[in-house]
Chains A and B, each alone.
Chain A
Amino acid sequence: MKISLNWLRDFVDFDESPEEIAEILTFLNFECEGIETIKRYVDGVVVGKVLESVPHPNADKLQLTRVDVGGEVLPIVCGAPNCREGLIVPVATVGTQIGEFTIDARKLRGEMSQGMILSEAEMKISENHGGILELGAGFKVGDDFSKVVPAEDAVLEFEITVNRPDALSHIGIARELAAYWGRPLKLPSFDVQESSSRKVADELTIDIDAPEQCPRYVGRKVTGVTVMDSPLWMKARLASIGQRPISNVVDITNYILFELGQPLHAFDADQIKDGHIVVRMANEGEKFVTLDDKPRKLVASDLMIADPEKGVALGGVMGGANSEVTDATKDVIIEAAYFDPPTIRKTAKRLGLPSEASRRFERGADPGMQPNAAARCAELFRLHAGAEVLQGQVDAHPAPVARPPVSYRPQRAGVVLGFDVPKDDAVKVFQSLEFGVEDKGETVVVTPPSWRHDIEREIDLVEEVARHVGYDKVPTAESSRVVLSSEDPPLERMLDTAVDTMVALGFREANCSAMTSGEDHEAFAGGLKPYVINRPINPEMSVYRASLIPGLLRVVEHNLNRGFEDVFLFEAGQVGGEGWLETDGGQRLHLGFAMVGNWIPQAYDRDGEAVDLAEVKTVLNELARGLTLDLPLRFDYTTPDNLMLGVKLLSEDGSLTGVAGQLKPELAARFGIDRPVYVGEIDIERWVKPVAGELRLPGIRGGYQRFSRFPANVRDVAFVVPLSTPAEDVRGALLEHSSELLEDVVLFDLYKGKPLASDERSLAFRATFRAPDRTLTDDDIDPIIKGMIGSAEKLNGVRLRG
Chain B
Amino acid sequence: MKDIAAVSSQDTLEEVRVRYIGRKGSIAELFKQMGKIDPSIRGEFGKTLNMLKNDATAQIEAMARELEQAETLAGYDPTLPARPIAQGSYHPITLIEREVKRIFTRMGFAIKRGPEVEDVWHNFDALNTPDWHPSRDETDTLYLADIPNMLLRTETSPVQIRTMQAQKPPIRIVAPGRVFRNDKPDPTHSPMFTQLEGLYVDKGVTFADLKGTVLQFYRHLLGKNVVTRFRPHFFPFTEPSAEVDVSCPFCGGDGCRVCKHSGWIEVGGSGMVDPNVLETVGIDPEIYTGWAFGLGIERMTMLLYGVDDIRLFYENDIRFLSQFGGRR
Contacts and interface: CB of A to CB of B under 8 A. Distances in A.
Contacts of A362: 132
Contacts of A472: 229-230
A376 B197 CA distance: 49
Given A486-B173, A514-B116, A604-B81, A418 B93 contact: no
Contacts of A26: 231
A395 B152 CA distance: 48
B234 A585 contact: no
A534 B215 contact: no
B184 to A, nearest CB: 6
B191 A477 contact: no
Contacts of A459: 239-240, 272, 274-275
Interface string A13-48: 000000000000011110100000000000000000
B319 to A, nearest CB: 7
A487 B316 contact: no
Q: Which of B84, B133, B147, B183 has the most CB of A within 10 A?
A: B84
A303 B116 CA distance: 39
Contacts of B171: 483, 486
B206 A417 contact: yes
Contacts of B212: 476-480
A415 B313 CA distance: 42
Contacts of B204: 415
A595 to B, nearest CB: 9
Interface string A746-767: 0000000000000000000000
Given A486-B110, A567-B318, A603 B84 contact: yes
Interface stretch (B18-26, B42-50, B51-59, B137-145): B137-145
Interface string A414-432: 0111110000000000000
A512 B230 CA distance: 34
Contact of A460 (B107, B115, B184, B239): B239
A474 B270 CA distance: 14
Interface residues of B, number: 84
B233 interface: yes
B207 interface: yes
Contact of B83 (A460, A477, A511, A606): A606
B96 to A, nearest CB: 12
A489 B105 CA distance: 13
Contacts of B146: 531-532, 578
Contacts of B145: 532-534
A576 B81 contact: no
Contact of B172 (A471, A483, A601): A483
Contacts of A230: none
A567 B172 CA distance: 41
Contacts of B322: 508
Contacts of A567: 318
Interface stretch (A115-123, A158-166, A221-229, A721-729): A158-166
Contacts of A485: 167, 170
Contacts of A130: none
A502 B231 contact: no
B9 to A, nearest CB: 27
> Do most interface residues of chain B lie in helix, strand or loop, or is the interface mixed?
mixed
Contacts of A487: 110
Contacts of A671: none
Interface residues of A, number: 91
Contacts of A345: 132
Contacts of B91: 508-511
A566 B84 CA distance: 11
Contacts of A27: 231-232
B75 to A, nearest CB: 12
Given A29-B232, A585-B115, A601-B84, A511 B208 contact: no
B1 interface: no
Contacts of A508: 87-89, 91, 316, 318, 321-322
A564 interface: yes
B202 interface: yes
A476 B88 contact: no
Interface stretch (A88-96, A311-319, A461-469, A662-670): A461-469
A506 B144 contact: no
B316 A569 contact: yes
Nearest to B214: A476
Contacts of B240: 416-417, 459, 462-463, 466-467, 471
Contact of A562 (B80, B90, B319): B319
Interface string A668-705: 00000000000000000000000000000000000000
Interface string A540-563: 010010000000000100110010
A573 B85 contact: no
Interface string B100-134: 00000001111111011100000000000001111
B209 A477 contact: yes
B132 A483 contact: no
Interface in B265-321: 272, 274-275, 289, 313-319, 321
Contacts of A511: 91, 93-94, 313-314, 316
Nearest to A457: B275
A483 B202 contact: yes
B170 A586 contact: no
Interface string A398-440: 0000000000000000011111000000000000000000000
Contacts of B272: 416, 459
A739 interface: no
A176 to B, nearest CB: 11
A418 B233 CA distance: 19
A452 B109 CA distance: 38
A616 B241 CA distance: 51
A502 B84 contact: no
Nearest to A554: B316
Contacts of B317: 558-559, 562
A607 to B, nearest CB: 12
Contacts of A566: 86
B2 to A, nearest CB: 41
A507 interface: yes
A486 B229 CA distance: 29
A503 interface: yes
A474 B208 contact: yes
A544 B232 contact: no
A488 interface: yes
B224 interface: no
B213 interface: yes
Contacts of B115: 574, 576, 585-587
Q: Which of B81, B83, B142, B207 has the most CB of A within 10 A?
A: B207
24 contacts: A27-B231, A161-B233, A415-B206, A415-B289, A417-B207, A419-B206, A471-B229, A474-B211, A477-B213, A479-B212, A483-B108, A503-B89, A504-B88, A509-B90, A510-B316, A513-B192, A515-B191, A531-B144, A533-B142, A544-B144, A558-B316, A600-B85, A600-B86, A601-B85
Given A29-B234, A417-B208, A514-B192, 5 more contacts: A415-B289, A471-B231, A514-B116, A514-B152, A558-B317
Interface of B: 80-81, 83-91, 93-94, 98, 107-113, 115-117, 131-134, 138, 142-147, 150, 152, 167, 170-173, 178, 180, 182-184, 191-192, 200, 202, 204, 206-209, 211-213, 215, 229-234, 239-243, 272, 274-275, 289, 313-319, 321-322
